[in-house]
Chains A and B, each alone.
Chain A
């Protein structure tokens, strides 16, 4: 490939790093460590977005980078940390699927997104297409975290890592409009989710935030 410049390598490394950290998330069996890994995920995303802002000469992307850094790498993990502590559910995560199958499924998903995106975007410029392939991997791994966990907090973490993948894709698409607006909209969405979990606790409607326990309240099952 002819575009082996420094800018290409750095953004490649950061995007690849995000995929690796998503893998780290898959086998964390403690909520605290999951939150720490997520904070790292958001930190790498912030670096990646800032790098894109620098090489694309798009100063508005720095806003997105700052949001990722302050909101997702610091505020949300700290808030969730406190919620977990107050709920007393820090001991372990009840994974619905074992770690082995989860890791295998994760590899399968990454392979799938590489094959799909690299084949489909054969004519796009190499930076954008590999960025997109990494982004789709992060999205799918986030989805995997969501479906393999039963706990509401870890589902939220899965969703946020999925959303990090989307921000990666949006910033990688050169010159895409509304990126900042979309990242703000997502932050509001996440804030709502976290407040939602917090409200569950305050209202003391739930004894635990285990989603499977909620199934009992379905109107249909008697």
Chain B
């Protein structure tokens, strides 16, 4: 190590929080938007350096292992590209007067605070600290969802707040129960909440207590993953907030909650006498998938449409992790990465589209490929990807989920395929009306930055055609960790 003073873990935490303070103080749109991008880039580069620099030893608060590096790198990458998209999106919002300069400062500060919360949740080795970090990330997104101060935005923020708070309360109760289960074995105090210590002793924990703890954790963090029937906050929060926030909500915040769930799933898997978390996750995953697929047909608002699509995909991912085993876990992990990239790309396109058209109503948007070829075709590729068509990455991960399920539980696979086809139908139906046909609405030219959207789509396409061998090996290794 040439640079002993450089600590990437500290960097991914301190850069966001430091720049949040700076962005709250600095005036001026151009400067702050650029600073936001630069800070996000710096965070992303520090996260990348985790891959090459020797990892720190797991301490009482911080842990870096093969599992969370995947999450951190993905998180900071999408955070970086979203900050680029956000710069051009927010410029338009300022011009149209929906955001005032004061709120803009607040927005940028919250954006970085949210990145801090999410990164902290990923690197924390302490289940109490992880809970606090998830709460920080949730609170900041609540504030950003309500930033437009319209009736609808405030209602969405309120609903998100109340449901999210109940979820977080359940998660805390589950966390306390885990500590209670651990206390007789590992002793009082700090150690009882350190994940790496818990996992070593999990086999000796009281299984009954651990079961109840997992139910609470599953309900609590499951609310944040957006699993049906706990999803009620998700479509409103996506539809009413600024679109960059919809992109990070779908692409990143859902992953944070999922990561918390996975940590506890591994913990339960290490305790042989406790219930298997798999069946619970499989059931909730399938319910979310089929429910969301039906709901897709009745959407009139384009951001709500893709919010329900996020519920559907989180359902698939939770289902895959619930099935367990190396292949299904691999598929779940790949699907999670692909979904984050694709869904945020779609929201980048949708954000510019709704700004140009001045509406989010699907029936007022027609013929995008004619009037705005770049945005229109970008959206087409994105939706084709999210619907699961080859040769894009989501096709491959969905194919893996389906085929591994067919091999083990054919009946479940039938439900899974039914849900996937249903969602596919709904998305194609909506896509044809929005992208093709006679143009409707404003045809003003877009001042958009296409780079983030096409970068994401290119990555998804690459992953669909060819996955680099080291990446496959890495994911396979993580899939084995997940049990």
Q: Which residues of A contact B (CB under 8 A)?
A: 116-117, 119-124, 128, 132, 135-136, 139, 143, 146, 152, 155, 159, 162-163, 166, 169-170, 173-178, 181-182, 185, 188-189, 192-193, 196, 200, 203, 205-206, 211, 214-215, 217-220, 222
Contact = CB atoms under 8 A, between A and B. Distances in A.
B118 to A, nearest CB: 16
B169 A124 contact: no
B152 interface: yes
Given A146-B166, A159-B166, A177-B189, A220 B132 contact: no
Interface string B219-250: 00000000000000000100110000000000
Interface size of B as a range: 35 or more
Interface string B258-287: 000000000000000000000000000000
B358 interface: no
A128, A185, A211: residue with the most chain B Cβ atoms closer than 10 Å: A185
Contacts of B193: 176-178
A169 B176 contact: yes
Interface in B155-198: 155, 157-158, 161-162, 165-166, 169, 172-173, 176-177, 179-180, 183-184, 188-190, 192-193
A193 B360 CA distance: 29
Instruction: Give the secondary structure class of A's interface.
Output: helix
Given A120-B212, A159-B162, A218 B236 contact: yes
B158 A152 contact: yes
Contacts of A218: 152, 155, 236
A29 B208 CA distance: 39
B432 to A, nearest CB: 22
Contacts of B7: none
Q: Which 9 A-B pairs have the closest CB atoms?
A: A175-B188, A178-B128, A217-B151, A214-B155, A120-B208, A175-B189, A217-B152, A169-B176, A177-B190
Interface string B124-146: 00101101100100010011001
Given A169-B173, A178-B129, A124 B152 contact: no
A119 B206 CA distance: 12
Contacts of A206: 151, 154
5 contacts: A124-B184, A132-B180, A174-B188, A177-B128, A189-B135
B183 A173 contact: yes
Contacts of A178: 126, 128-129, 132, 193
A182 B132 CA distance: 7
Contacts of B201: none
Given A159-B162, A177-B189, A220-B300, A124 B180 contact: yes
A166 B173 contact: yes
A170 B176 contact: yes
B180 A173 contact: yes
Given A177-B193, A189-B165, 8 more contacts: A120-B206, A132-B177, A139-B169, A176-B179, A193-B161, A206-B154, A217-B152, A220-B301
Contacts of B188: 174-175
B128 A219 contact: no
B192 A175 contact: yes
A175 B190 CA distance: 8
A122 B212 CA distance: 13
B131 A219 contact: no
B352 interface: no
Nearest to A169: B176
A218 B208 CA distance: 42
A135 B299 CA distance: 41
Contacts of A162: 166, 169
B149 interface: yes
A175 B183 contact: yes
A96 B129 CA distance: 37
Contacts of A122: 208
A61 to B, nearest CB: 13
B337 to A, nearest CB: 30
B366 interface: no
A181 B169 CA distance: 15
Nearest to A125: B184
B157, B179, B184: residue with the most chain A Cβ atoms closer than 10 Å: B179
B209 interface: yes
A121 B209 contact: yes
Contacts of A203: 149, 154
Nearest to B209: A120
A96 to B, nearest CB: 14
A188 to B, nearest CB: 8
Interface in B319-357: none
Given A159-B166, A169-B176, A205 B239 contact: no
A197 B128 CA distance: 28
